[in-house]
Amino acid sequence: MTRTSTYQPGLASFATVGSGWVFVLVALGAFTTTIGAGMVFPDWPLSNGSVNPHGWLTEIDKFAEHSHRLSGAVMGFITIVLAVWLHLREERRWLRRLGWWALGIVVVQGLIGGKRVLLDSLNVPGFDMTLGQMLRLPHGMLAQVYVCMLFAIVAGLSRAWVEDTLGTPSERVRRLGWWCVILLFVQLGVAVTMRHNYAGMAIPTFPFSTPEGGLLPATWDYKVVLQFAHRVMAALIGVMILVYGHFLWREKSLVPPLRAASLLLVGLMAGQIYLGARIIWTGRSVTMTTGHVILGTLTLATTFVVAFFTQRSSIERARP
């Protein structure tokens, strides 16, 4: 089978479907964690010894966890097909490698998810969380890396990328994009740690940190530190996205859709801040909390793919 670096609509469409399905997986994972259903089935890879466990279509906690497992299996199948398809048909080595890296992450994610269940009762001296509960942290962070990998593959397979019609951005725009991505990754690390340490309501008021209107919390512990750091990072990222959006919009050398992405980034960030506030105001509503996780992943993925598009020339030069 001949490899080619020309635009392949079938492969590009399949990768796009995969990047869409990953949000089904993220949504179900976020919902499962929000309602505390991660250990409703104490076994793995089956659920109560079955692929069709009793009650999973009628009981919300069983539905959440088992659907998450099933969607993960579908995601694994999609990634296998994508990696093999890229290997057989794609001429560019960096894209083929990215496909295999994505598959490797899926395998590791499945193992971490399984060990999270199987090691849930194993206590770790000096820590409040068991070993299984600790594994939720790398599981959550690695999921974000995987999403970005999928979006990078979709970008590399797109017609605009292949035919080099994106334009040439300035060095300032390229740097600002990556800084925003780095800050979003740091924020997601803080968020995952906060979420799995049950610190989402450690500061129960917003936008102030006390009912009296204080900017700083009245008392401090590790949960308050996590929650306060999450808020500070949100403010910093909000400013950075505005700055990045401003210069991206003014970059006349880029194609209009890429420049217009600046408006999308600002909108996504505004939505994230609003949902974060609603979590506090509603006492950690399941809907608001789950939506906040999903929109956070979408904000990272969108920022990443915009920044990735602006790096097209250097990526293609450096990685044949």
* pLDDT tens digit at each of 320 positions of the chain: 678 889 999 999 999 999 999 999 999 999 999 999 989 999 999 999 999 999 999 999 999 999 999 999 999 999 999 999 999 999 999 999 999 999 999 999 999 999 989 998 888 887 778 888 888 889 989 999 999 999 999 999 999 999 999 998 999 999 999 999 999 999 999 999 998 888 989 999 999 999 999 999 999 999 999 999 999 999 999 999 999 999 999 999 999 999 999 999 999 999 999 999 999 999 999 999 999 999 999 999 999 999 999 999 888 876 55
Token match 């949504």: residue? 27
Is residue 234 in some structural domain?
yes
Number of Cβ atoms within 10 Å of the Cβ of 283: 9
Alpha carbon 34 to chain centroid, angstroms: 16
* Distance from C-alpha of 111 to C-alpha of 75, rounded to nearest angstrom: 14
- What is the model's pLDDT at position 5? 82
Same domain, 143 and 252: no
Same domain, 214 and 105: no
Q: Which of 157, 177, 194 is the last residue of a domain?
A: 157
Number of Cβ atoms within 10 Å of the Cβ of 92: 19
Same domain, 16 and 145: yes
The pTM is what?
Answer: 0.93
User: How many domains are contained in the chain?
Assistant: 2
Token match 């599981």: residue? 139
* Distance from C-alpha of 274 to C-alpha of 280, rounded to nearest angstrom: 10
Tokens of 108: 């590791």
Contact present, 291 and 36 (Cβ < 8 Å): no
- What is the model's pLDDT at position 1? 63
Question: Which residues neighbour 274 within 8 Å (Cβ) at sequence distance 6 or greater?
Answer: none
Token match 């979420």: residue? 195
Contact present, 119 and 132 (Cβ < 8 Å): yes
Give the CB-side neighbour count of residue 207, counting CA atoms within 13 A: 5
Same domain, 178 and 300: yes
Residue 297 bridge partners (DSSP)? none
- What is the model's pLDDT at position 50? 94
- What is the model's pLDDT at position 318? 64
Is residue 1 in some structural domain?
no
Q: Which of 97, 127, 157 is the last residue of a domain?
A: 157
Phi-psi map region of 80: left, alpha, beta (phi>0 left; psi -120 to 50 alpha) = alpha
Tokens of 289: 């909390």
Same domain, 174 and 318: yes
CA distances from 144 to 48, 49, 185 (A): 29, 30, 8
Same domain, 250 and 135: no
Same domain, 45 and 176: no
Smallest CA-to-CA distance from 90 within 152, 153, 149 is with: 153
- What is the model's pLDDT at position 214? 93
Helices (H), 163-255: 171-196, 222-250
- What is the model's pLDDT at position 173? 95
Residue numbers of the domain that contains 115? 8-157
